[in-house]
Each structure stands twice: as structure tokens, then as C-alpha cells.
Chain A
Amino acid sequence: MLESNKDSAKLDAMKRIVGMIAKGRNASELFPAVVKNVASKNIEIKKLVYVYLVRYAEEQQDLALLSISTFQRALKDPNQLIRASALRVLSSIRVPIIVPIMMLAIKDASADLSPYVRKNAAHAIQKLYSLDPEQKEMLIEVIEKLLKDKSTLVAGSVVMAFEEVCPERIDLIHKNYRKLCNLLVDVEEWGQVVIIHMLTRYARTQFVSPWKEDGGAEDSEKNFYESDDEQREGTERRKKPYAMDPDHRLLIRNTKPLLQSRNAAVVMAVAQLYWHISPKSEAGVISKSLVRLLRSNREVQYIVLQNIATMSIQRKGMFEPYLKSFYVRSTDPTMIKTLKLEILTNLANEANVSTLLREFQTYVRSQDKQFAAATIQTVGRCASSISEVSDSCLSGLVCLLSSRDEVVVAESVVVIKKLLQMRPAQHGEIIKHMAKLLDSITVPVARASILWLIGENCERVPKIAPDVLRKMAKSFTSEDDLVKLQILNLGAKLYLTNSKQTKLLTQYILNLGKYDQNYDIRDRTRFIRQLIVPNEKSGALSKYAKKIFLAQKPAPLLESPFKDRDHFQLGTLSHTLNTKAAGYLELSNWPEVAPDPSVRNVEVVELTKEWTPAGKAKKENPAKKFYSESEEEEDSSDSSSESESESGSESEEEADSSEDSSASSPNEQEGESASESEGRSKRTAKKSWKTRAKSDSEDEEKENEKSKSSDSSSAESSSAEGSSSDAESESESDSGPDSRKVTKEKEGRPKQARSTLPKDVSLLDLDDFNSVSTPVALPTPVLSPSLRADLEGLNLSTTSSVINVSSPVFVPMKTHVLLHRMSGKGLAAHYFFPRQPCIFGAKMVSVQITLNNTTDQKIENIHVGEKKLPAGMQMHAFSPVDSLEPEGSVTVSMGIDFCDSTQTASFQLCTKDDCFSVNIQPPVGELLLPVAMSEKDFKKEQGMLTGMNETSALIVATPQDFTPSVILQKVVNVANVGAVPSGQDHLHS
């Protein structure tokens, strides 16, 4: 049929062949006939031939070569799908002769315009490497090139290739580290797993350990509220002995959203990253997500539970709140049950042990006897680790001895033996009881345990012990080896302590042992006989026989089987198997001193590294996006009446649009070169800014005047331009469009004010630098929430009918003391303004209060008591905190409507025992609401409002800090404002 002219016949034949392959039957004799069809026009036949070829090429190398030329042709095909699949098949044919051809193809493909082809090239690297490891050097070059790729499609695959080919070449990652961190969210899920694992290893080699200090607690929570902490990170470094490398922080922050991935592997990867590299205080966020995975399939549960078991040994606290999620259901498979039990044991502490034991009682009666036995062991472990309950555990276990099931009884005997050994107190009763059990129990381990116990405590039960020995002597021959050994031991011990009664019995047993089939037993018999039975040869040792046999034996330590697993990286195959799997890469220890962090710096990043609010996501994006993005923004703002939303989704859209531009641009190179030139021009623009700033400081007064008249005419401006320095006029030609871009970057949010002509902007630019070291008048429209309504009314008459509340440009981390720990009897409270829209009401300002317990006792029931508020003010109290552990801290949020005044809100902060009066007085800046509006609107508003609400504050700026960004930063530090997106004045809001 393959020879047929008809495609349908060929297809049918190929389908049958594939069916054979699928069943594992050999179809290799058809090779020549199939290979002929490799050039078929029909794409389905072609694909099936590929399947066949990949399967059998290894066996029929010579014939496979016939097909190579077809692939080489296909590699030049205009259709990217065909190029990619040709490369895929070519690299999958494991024929050593074609290595050079493959190498060439990979090199070409890695420079292909289509990211899909480049992705396939990354895959081909691994295949070639496994075929011929000698190509390593050349392949590393290709990997290096592909690592620079900006496409999210390629990132996962190339990192995979990196891991496979050259995991030791960590230096290749440096330059791409930040890019990988930033792209991570957009990479497909499988790539995310690989990248996260790689970055975990990277972080362990490049950053210093964040674990040394417990101080990580303060900076943990707050960081996540911030859009940028690069700046803060800088200041922190000066203050604190340990400061996390910003890149380290970047990784931790960028992986956090992935905890909510639907892919369990991604969640696990992030969890292990947090476990291994984040400060201990922050690792808590992963527990919730891991517990969520427990709803998943049996196999996922199994792996996740294993990892939780390991984690719960080291840090109990992490999973304690989720204790009940680990309760066992009767329908769980046994392996899941035992793992859950393991975790429950690890989590047991004084507080919860009684609930746990009650739960265990149910398990012990389970129909699944294997599980019941495991539960008994667990009870033993609880009893040994928590001394308060060991007595009740012991009595519970003794009750179980009367159970009807043998496995249960045997297991309890073994556990009781271990427990008694640990606490050699008076437990004669139990031992007697167990001695009676000897008649009924048949499980060898249990019998051996009882005999051992009696032997150890033979002095405490002098009457029973010889009797037991007598019974055992009777049944000696039919016992298990394990029991026989214990009988011998018991005999020896009794002989030493009570030789009158047991001398003959022991000798009888020793005689039996002498002719036993098992050589261990014969050995032991001979040894014991020499040791205890006095004869002329063995003088020296037999004196010490008593000491040898009745020495104090150290109690066994009941430990978790997961104790030693933590040296494997979590989430890996090696961890699951608890043996080192092939290709496992050790996680290195933290370095003592961090390697030079500057290796990660990339040119483009340097340019924008100056303080740019919320600018992080933009760093890598090519310049083009500014245009495409603003279009997008316009679209969405058209359709949404309240475009508050924009700020939130903005950075994502940015990422999107940058993707779009790179994907849709017909020629990538072009885009890149564009962005480069863009960068260059930005740099020049910046230079000119600085020079201008200096010149401005000279005629600063003049500028001030100008800025007050907000309608600075173009004539005036141009005259000012004339008076400014040469540098300015030099760069004037391109400063128009460029400065517009720079401004945009500053604001952190693009705007719709595209109507502003470039020319206008360049003129207005001059006004940028007014009033620097003088007290700054802020003629601000105080757009606090309540005023918003008024303004909305006003706005009806104007062109723009919407107030766009923008996201806070900057959130200062300054906290204010609400209640000092001395006056609060150990309860300390701090508050700060997170500058987020309040969730309790539109008019309210949200306040975050951090409560700290500095005492060594629990503080219970923290709540807001009596409120003493001025008229009109309202407050939404935080929900009461039930209890606060010693050294614990909790952050609560509340909302206060200050009525746009700076009046103090007083209320009582109550605990269970005490009440403390506290006050919150808001700084003016916190009452403001950042609003995004166009320049035109702003001027209009300003004109209407001047004189109504003016507040001034002194900003001290050192002369060398005369860059606009610094001023802007200082302003946003004190007030919750956003910069007006215009060329007119950054200091307005």
C-alpha cells in the first residue's frame, strides 16, 4: 500500500504501522518503504513518517541518511511550523554521522526569527548533547546566545537545556538573572518549574544567607505592598547589618504569584524556593498553597505530603494552623494515611496533643490494620516527645493489649516496650499483664519484646520471670529465631539474678540452642554458656557477666523517618526516594560573603536604575511599547467608566504589549536596534536634564514666578529657553519626544494626554525645575475621597468626566508609634498608612496597625474599645485578635474617615485585662488621594481651587540632589499624591 499512488492508501498504511509501533511490535523491516514517503506532500503522512523515522532510525542508520536531505530542505521552508518540525525530527534521529549537520541546523535555528523555532532549537541542544557530549563547548555558545532571548516561549526550554548540558556554568546566568525573574510569570508552566529550580540553586550560590537574623520579620510583610523597594532596600542596607540583596528580593517577590498556579508542580517549585532561600519568617506563605494541593489527585497528595512531612519536622509552626487538614479519612489509600499520620505526629505539641490523641483513638480502631499499627507507633512517638501525656498514652496502649486483633496487640507491645525502656519507673503491673499475653500472642516481634522486657525487669517481677522461662523452654523448638534469641537472653539474665530457681532450666535451654539449625543461635548459645557458666577456662570475663547482661541500656529514640531527608532539595525525585537520583544537583550552602552582585547588571538596567517609581517592569521592555501601550490604555479607559482598574493591570498590560511588539514585529533585530538607539537618546536626554537643572538653580527665582502663573505662555518659555545653557539648546532637537518618554517613565503610568504636542512639551520642560530649595508651595487640589464627589460635580462641566484614582506612586515605610510597649504593658502597636484604597469605605483612609507582643505571655482578645471621635469622623475598627503569642506580631487594618481634617482620632485599644487610650493623627499628605488626570484638566482644577486648600511643607534638598526625580521622591514621601502626567510641573499633583 505504501507504493500506492493514492494518498489515502498510504495514509491508511502508515496508520497501521503506527498502530504496530504503539503496541510495541517490530515494524523495522518496512523501513525502506516508509522512508521513501518522507517527502510526501500530505502533511499527515509526513507526520506519521516522522514518527516512524524517529522510532527506527537508530536501528537502520544508513537508510535513515536518505531522509536527511529532505529535512535540510525543510529547514529553509518559509513556514515556521515546518522549519520547527524538521529541526525536531532531524535532532531526534539518533545517528552519530549527522552530528555536524545537526550542529549547523541548531546554530541557524537559534538565530531564527520565529521564537517557536528557537524554542525547538533549545530542545535540540539537549538531544545533540546526549548523542555526542563532545559538542559541549559549541552547544554552550548556543545556550549562551539563547539565554539572552527575550521571548517567554524560549526561556523555559533554554534553561532546561542549560540544566542538562552545563549546570555548572552558573556564570552564564548572571546577565540574564533579572530578566528571567521578570519574565517568570509569563513563561509557560513547565518552563516555570525548571527555571525556579535553577534559580534556587543560583540563589544559594550568589546571595548570603537570610537566616542568620530573625530580624527579617519586619521587612517581610510590608515589602509586598510596595511596588518598588529598590530604593528602600538601599536605605535599609545602611541601617541594618544584614540587608537582602535586591536581586534576591526580586526573585522571592516575583515567584510569589506563582503560588496560585493551577499546576501543582509550579506551586511545589515555588514552595521549595521559599523554603530554601527566603528568610524564615516569609516561608509561611507557602503552607496555605501546599495544603490546597492536598485536594488534588492521589499521586500529587503523596508527593506533597512527603514534602510537608520533611518541612514539618524543622518548622512546626508553619503547618500547625492546618492541623485538621491532615486528619485521615477512611477512604484514603494507606500510603496517604501513613503520611498524614507522620505529619500529625510532627505537629503534635503540648497544646494540641489531647485533640490529636482523641483523633488517634478513632484511627486505632480502623479496619485497615496496617494503618492502625502505624497509629500505635505514632502514639508512642507522641508519648516519648511530650512527657505530659506519656502516662495517658501508656494506659491507652495497655488497653489496646486486650484488643482482638493480633497486629494491633503486637504493635502496642513493641511500643510499650520502647516506652517502658525510656522510663524505667515502676511498671511492674504492666509487665505482669504482658507476661500473661505471651500465651495468646503469636507475632514474633511482640513475643520477643515481652521476653526482653521481662528479662530487663526480672528483679521487679521475681515470681513471674522463672515461670515464663519454664513455658518458653517448653516451646523453644517451635519459636521464631528472634524469639529464641530473646529466650536465651532471658535465661542468661535469670541465671545471673536468680540462679537457684533457674539454673537447670537455663542449662536445658542452652542445650537446645546448641543444636539449633540457625548458626546465630548456636553462636549466641556458645557465647552465653562461656560467659555465665563458671568453669576453669573462662575466669576473667564471667565475673563481669552480670554487668554485661544487666547494664543500663540507653532508651531508643523514637524518630521520624523523615528526619534525614532534609539534605535533599525539596520537591525533587531524590527527596521522594530518599536516595540520590542520577543527575541530582546538590544545593550548595550559602556563601559566607556574597559574590559581586554587579555581575548581574545589564546595560539597559543601568540606564533606568535611577529612582523610577513602579518602573521595574519597564526595564527590559523595548521602547516601542510606549506607543502601543497608550493605545491600549485608551481603549480600556474608553470602555470602563471607572478606570481605577487600569493601574492594577497596567504592568501586566505593559508586559503584554511588549510581548506583542516583539512577537508581531516582523524583524526582531529592528526592534532591538530601535530600543538601543532609544536607550542612547535617553541617556543624552538625561544629561541635558542635569545641566539644565544646574542652570536653573541660578535663575530659580525667575522660574518660580513663572510657575506661579500656571498659564505660562509659550512666548515666555521660549525666552527662557534662550537664556538657558548651551547644552540645552544642543539637545533641543531631540529633547521633545524623548523628554516626553522620560516623563512618562517617572510617573509610572502612561496617560492619555497624547494631544500635547511634542513642541509644547519641550517648551514647558523648562518649568520643570522650579522651587527646589525654597519652601515648596503645593497648590494642590486636595482630592481626598470626600472632595471627590464635589469635584465630580465640577467635572461635569469640563471635558473629562472621570476621576482616575491612580495607584500610589510611592509608599513610604515610615511607621508611627501608636502604643509604646512600656506604656502598653508589653503590647506595642505601630501604624502606618499603606496608601491603598480603603476596603471599608470610600471615604476612609486605610491604616495598618502592627501589634507586637513583647511580653513572655500570651495577650488575649485585642480589640478596639471606646472611640472618642470628633464630630463627623468615622472609624471602622479592626476585627478583634483572639490571641497573640509571645514575641508574635500581627498586622491588622482599619479604616478611619478623617473628614479631610487633621484632627486626631482617639480610641481605646483593649486587651483582655487592660485598656490603653491611643491617638492617630494623620499627616496631611495621607489624606490625599492620588488622581490621574491630564495636564489640561489639572490646570483647570488648579485654577478653581487655588487658595482653598494650600498646605506647605519644607523640603530640604541638598544642592547636588537637584534631579527632578529626587524632588519628586521627597514629595511623595510626605504626601500620598501622584505626579501629574505633564510637562508642566512634576511637583504638582
Chain B
Amino acid sequence: MIHSLFLINCSGDIFLEKHWKSVVSQSVCDYFFEAQEKAADVENVPPVISTPHHYLISIYRDKLFFVSVIQTEVPPLFVIEFLHRVADTFQDYFGECSEAAIKDNVVIVYELLEEMLDNGFPLATESNILKELIKPPTILRSVVNSITGSSNVGDTLPTGQLSNIPWRRAGVKYTNNEAYFDVVEEIDAIIDKSGSTVFAEIQGVIDACIKLSGMPDLSLSFMNPRLLDDVSFHPCIRFKRWESERVLSFIPPDGNFRLISYRVSSQNLVAIPVYVKHNISFKENSSCGRFDVTIGPKQNMGKTVEGITVTVHMPKVVLNMNLTPTQGSYTFDPVTKVLTWDVGKITPQKLPSLKGLVNLQSGAPKPEENPSLNIQFKIQQLAISGLKVNRLDMYGEKYKPFKGVKYVTKAGKFQVRT
């Protein structure tokens, strides 16, 4: 299966390599660099590259390339999913998945990779298990270790590895027992020029932060579970219970994890919380154009829309932009041609707008297409689909946990064509 792994940074340096079978020379990455050059944009590097003797499967995360070397047939998604899991684990351990963090903790990284994969086949990928095998670095622990000489490698087999609930470790203890759930919904939409919705969909996740002692058995029920059209579960959820009663019943892992992700059935009409009035035009045979964008609230269920950011990828011929916002601030990067307007909150009394002139390269033909606007926003305490958690019950433990649910609606891939 997975033969070797190379970590490559944006400037093309291989800064970490790990081999699970016999050593594969770094030169295999040359094929990757070749493909990278051809692709021009990092986003366009093909995930699967075939070389004469090997296959390279790569992912791009946080400005790093994880390139794995494969020799025989294997489902590519298997490798991709695993590489993402590796990146997630780094993120979890070091707080960020960056070159610096990995270089600083190279020994832990190596130990992790050693545990996660044996002979190219994943061994332990649950973060709860890994954390028992290899303790994450903290300042306190590194001080203690340097004094006492003790190690941050566990010497017993994590109990979870053996039980049928591999995601939870035994003997968890907290003084404050808490269970928090974040219902986060994202609206993916494409709005066309005239303001009508071409495509809209709600994608949601429930992230949980569970700090409960012992082996709690939770069941979470919804007021309107039928809203959920397509759901994917954390392995801890009992599928049959969901099938029969639409109740999420599970023994949770310890700590933060994603409980479910779901899609709200596409038959339901999706409420679009903002509208955009735009007027972008480039004059023929002149080196300037007009730019005028106004944002207003719409169908927001009485909640304020906040954290609005508008990002526009301007055409290549745009040299500079001279704009005045009525609210917030804007930046334009003349190199990448990205305009970012940080709006903030919408107050219905005075709608935020951004107006001004666009300077074009003189002599170049005017761009044919207006750029589309990518909009980010956030609405607190509202799940736009109307999903509501009914109750959370705990069995198996005696204490009373503190429970909480938070709802947030965000813009996902929200695009307005102009």
C-alpha cells in the first residue's frame, strides 16, 4: 500500500521523508515537481500522477504537499483520506499543520507516522488512541520530561485499541462534566446576475465537544429529524437506532470530534439571508471602469447578519482600484488581483456599499466577463434549515452533565455571478 511519504513545502523543498517499506529515493518527487510546474496553480496539481515505477498520490493542505508513493493498485481515495487524516492529526497535536510546526516536532511526527501506518496499512488513526500512545507536546510536559527524563511515549496498549469502541479511552475523569454541540450550517449557493438563485443547498455539521467522565451513553434527538436528507456519521453512532427512530445514540469519543455531517434535502427552499446589488462595468477603449456593490439583508429570520466579507477575483487587466466603502475596509492586492472587502455587520438602516473606479491596463481589451463575488457571512443562534435539537439524554453514568447547544449559520461556497 503506502510505500513512502514526502512532505514538500511551497518552494519545492522536501523537508521530511518517511519510508514504511524499503527506501524510495527522493528523485521520485521530480515527477511531482514536473506536474506541479505544468499545472501553474497549486490547486491544479493532479492528485494522482503515474511514473514509470511508482504512482504518486498527493494532497495539498495548508501550503504543504503530502506526497505518498504507491507501488501497486490501491483505491486512491484510501490514500487521500489517510493523508488528510495525517494532516488532521498534526493539526490536532501541534495546533497547526505547518512546516515550522512539523520541523520543530520532527521526532513526534516520526513516532506518529510509525504508529499510524504499518507496512503501508493504517494501524491506529483515532486521535484518542494516538494520544495515549504518544502524548501531545505541551510546555509543561517538556519541562518535566527534561528534568525527570521520563518520556512522552505511553508504554501500555491503549485500551481502546482492543475494545469494540476504539474511539474512546477508558478511565476518563473530569471534575466538570460538559457536553457541547455546535450545529453549524453552511449555505452553498450560486446566485445569477439577476439575483435569482441558480442553486442553493444547506450543508450542516454537528461538532461536539464532550468532556464526560466514564463511559457515558448519549442519545441526541431532534425536533425535526426528517429534515436531514443525507447524513454521514462518526463511527460511534448506532446506525440502526437512527434508522428506526431517528435518534443519535452513541458512546462519544473524548474531546472534540465531528458527530455528523448532513445535507438538508434539496426540495426545501433555501432561505438566502443576504442580497447583493452590483454594478460592475468596464468602458470600451478607456482605462477605467466602475465598481459599485451594495449588500442588504433578506430573509434573515430577525437575526443580524455579521462577519460579512466580500472577495472578488478581478480580471488580469485590472491595475488598481480606487474605492470608498461606506462601512468596513477594503484591500486590493495588485499582484493576485484579489479585492477583499471586510464589511462586518449589516444594519438595515444604512446598507453598506463599496463604490469607486477601477484602473485598467491601458491598451488591453476590456474584460469580457465581470468577476463573480464570493461572500462570507455568519448568523449566530440560527440554523437556517430550522433544525432543532430536542434533547440530550445520558445513560450509563450517574452524574448530571452540563449540556449546551449552539447554532451558527455561515456562508459556504456562496457565489454571486455578475
A residues with a Cβ closer than 8 A to B are 6-8, 11, 15, 18-19, 21-24, 42-45, 47-48, 50-51, 55, 58, 79-81, 84, 88, 91-92, 94, 114-116, 120, 123-124, 126-127, 130, 152-153, 157, 160, 185-186, 188-190, 193, 197, 257, 260-265, 267-269, 288-289, 291-292, 295, 297-300, 302-304, 322, 324-325, 327, 329-331, 333-335, 359, 362, 365-367, 403-405, 571-574, 576-577, 579, 581-585, 635-636, 639-640, 644-645, 647-649, 651-652, 655-656, 659-660, 663, 807, 836, 839
B355 within 8 A of A: no
Main secondary structure of the interface of A (DSSP, over half): helix
B residues with a Cβ closer than 8 A to A are 1, 14-19, 21-23, 26, 41, 43-44, 46-48, 50, 55, 58-61, 70-78, 80-82, 84, 106-107, 109-111, 114, 118-119, 121-123, 125, 146, 149, 151-153, 155-157, 161-164, 166, 188, 190, 192, 198-199, 201, 203, 217, 219, 226, 229-235, 238-241, 243-245, 247, 249, 258, 261, 263, 266, 313, 315-316, 365, 367-369, 371-372, 374, 393, 395-396, 413, 415, 417
Q: Which residue of A lies closest to B247 (CB)?
A: A645
Contact, CB under 8 Å: A640 / B55: no
Contact, CB under 8 Å: A656 / B73: no
Docked CA distance A153–B161 (Å):
8
Q: List 22 A-B contacts (CB under 8 A).
A: A42-B151, A47-B153, A94-B22, A127-B119, A160-B121, A261-B232, A268-B77, A325-B201, A329-B413, A331-B415, A333-B43, A359-B198, A571-B76, A573-B75, A573-B76, A582-B71, A583-B73, A648-B241, A649-B249, A651-B240, A659-B163, A660-B164
Contact among A48, A58, A115 with B22 in the assembled complex (CB-CB below 8 Å): A58
Known: A15-B107, A189-B235, A645-B245. A130 touches B81 (CB 8 A): no
Most buried by B among A48, A297, A327, A573: A573
Known: A22-B16, A359-B198. A288 touches B230 (CB 8 A): yes
**Which residues of A have CB within 8 Å of B61?**
297
Taking the nearest CB of chain B, how far is it from the CB of A450, in angstroms?
23
Taking the nearest CB of chain A, how far is it from the CB of B68, in angstroms?
11
Docked CA distance A836–B351 (Å):
53
Taking the nearest CB of chain A, how far is it from the CB of B5, in angstroms?
11
Contact among B149, B239, B247, B266 with A260 in the assembled complex (CB-CB below 8 Å): B239
Contact among B151, B155, B249, B396 with A81 in the assembled complex (CB-CB below 8 Å): B155
Taking the nearest CB of chain A, how far is it from the CB of B73, in angstroms?
4
Docked CA distance A47–B113 (Å):
12
Q: Which residue of B lies closest to A617 (CB)?
A: B240
Taking the nearest CB of chain A, how far is it from the CB of B125, in angstroms?
7
Contact, CB under 8 Å: B75 / A24: no
Known: A329-B190, A572-B75, A574-B73. A289 touches B121 (CB 8 A): no
Docked CA distance A330–B315 (Å):
12
Contact, CB under 8 Å: A264 / B80: yes
Taking the nearest CB of chain B, how far is it from the CB of A346, in angstroms?
18
Contact among A81, A127, A267, A645 with B157 in the assembled complex (CB-CB below 8 Å): A81
Most buried by B among A48, A79, A574: A48
Q: Which residue of B lies closest to A83 (CB)?
A: B157
**Which residues of B have CB within 8 Å of A635?**
395-396
Contact among B60, B107, B393 with A298 in the assembled complex (CB-CB below 8 Å): B60
Contact among B81, B240, B393 with A648 in the assembled complex (CB-CB below 8 Å): B240
Docked CA distance A189–B75 (Å):
13
Most buried by B among A292, A367, A585, A660: A367
Contact, CB under 8 Å: A81 / B43: no
Q: Which residue of A lies closest to B374 (CB)?
A: A331
Contact among A8, A18, A127, A157 with B110 in the assembled complex (CB-CB below 8 Å): A18
Docked CA distance A714–B404 (Å):
56
Known: A334-B44, A405-B368. A130 touches B77 (CB 8 A): no
**Which residues of A have CB within 8 Å of B1?**
160
Contact, CB under 8 Å: A47 / B198: no
A-B contacts at CB below 8 angstroms, number: 285
Known: A24-B26, A579-B50, A645-B245. A265 touches B121 (CB 8 A): no
Contact, CB under 8 Å: A265 / B166: no
Contact, CB under 8 Å: A44 / B153: yes
Known: A19-B107, A659-B164. A88 touches B230 (CB 8 A): no
Known: A189-B235, A299-B59, A573-B73. A262 touches B157 (CB 8 A): no
Contact, CB under 8 Å: B77 / A581: no
**Which residues of B have CB within 8 Å of A289?**
230, 232
**Which residues of A have CB within 8 Å of B77?**
264-265, 268, 300, 303-304, 571
Q: Which residue of B lies closest to A647 (CB)?
A: B244
Contact, CB under 8 Å: A22 / B70: no
Contact, CB under 8 Å: B162 / A663: yes
Give 5 nearest A-B pairs by CB, closest first.
A583-B72, A44-B151, A659-B164, A333-B43, A648-B244
Docked CA distance A334–B39 (Å):
10
Contact, CB under 8 Å: A292 / B241: no
Taking the nearest CB of chain B, how far is it from the CB of A584, in angstroms?
4
**Which residues of A have CB within 8 Å of B368?**
365, 403-405
**Which residues of B have CB within 8 Å of A23?**
15-17
Docked CA distance A116–B71 (Å):
27
Docked CA distance A868–B151 (Å):
78
Contact, CB under 8 Å: B153 / A8: no
Contact, CB under 8 Å: B231 / A327: no
**Which residues of A have CB within 8 Å of B55?**
573, 577, 581
**Which residues of B have CB within 8 Å of A88?**
118
Docked CA distance A15–B151 (Å):
12
Contact, CB under 8 Å: A295 / B247: no
Taking the nearest CB of chain B, how far is it from the CB of A147, in angstroms?
16
A635-B396, A649-B238 given; name 15 further pairs at CB < 8 Å. Answer: A116-B162, A188-B122, A193-B78, A257-B239, A260-B230, A262-B258, A265-B80, A267-B232, A295-B261, A324-B266, A572-B74, A576-B48, A577-B48, A652-B238, A663-B164
**Which residues of A have CB within 8 Å of B258?**
262
Contact, CB under 8 Å: A47 / B114: yes
**Which residues of B have CB within 8 Å of A22?**
16-18, 106, 109-110
**Which residues of B have CB within 8 Å of A42?**
149, 151
Contact, CB under 8 Å: A303 / B121: no
Contact, CB under 8 Å: A297 / B235: no
**Which residues of B have CB within 8 Å of A329?**
190, 413, 415
Contact, CB under 8 Å: B44 / A335: yes
Known: A8-B146, A327-B198, A571-B77. A335 touches B313 (CB 8 A): no
**Which residues of A have CB within 8 Å of B166?**
188
Taking the nearest CB of chain A, how far is it from the CB of B286, in angstroms?
16
Q: Which residue of B lies closest to A119 (CB)?
A: B123
Docked CA distance A258–B244 (Å):
16
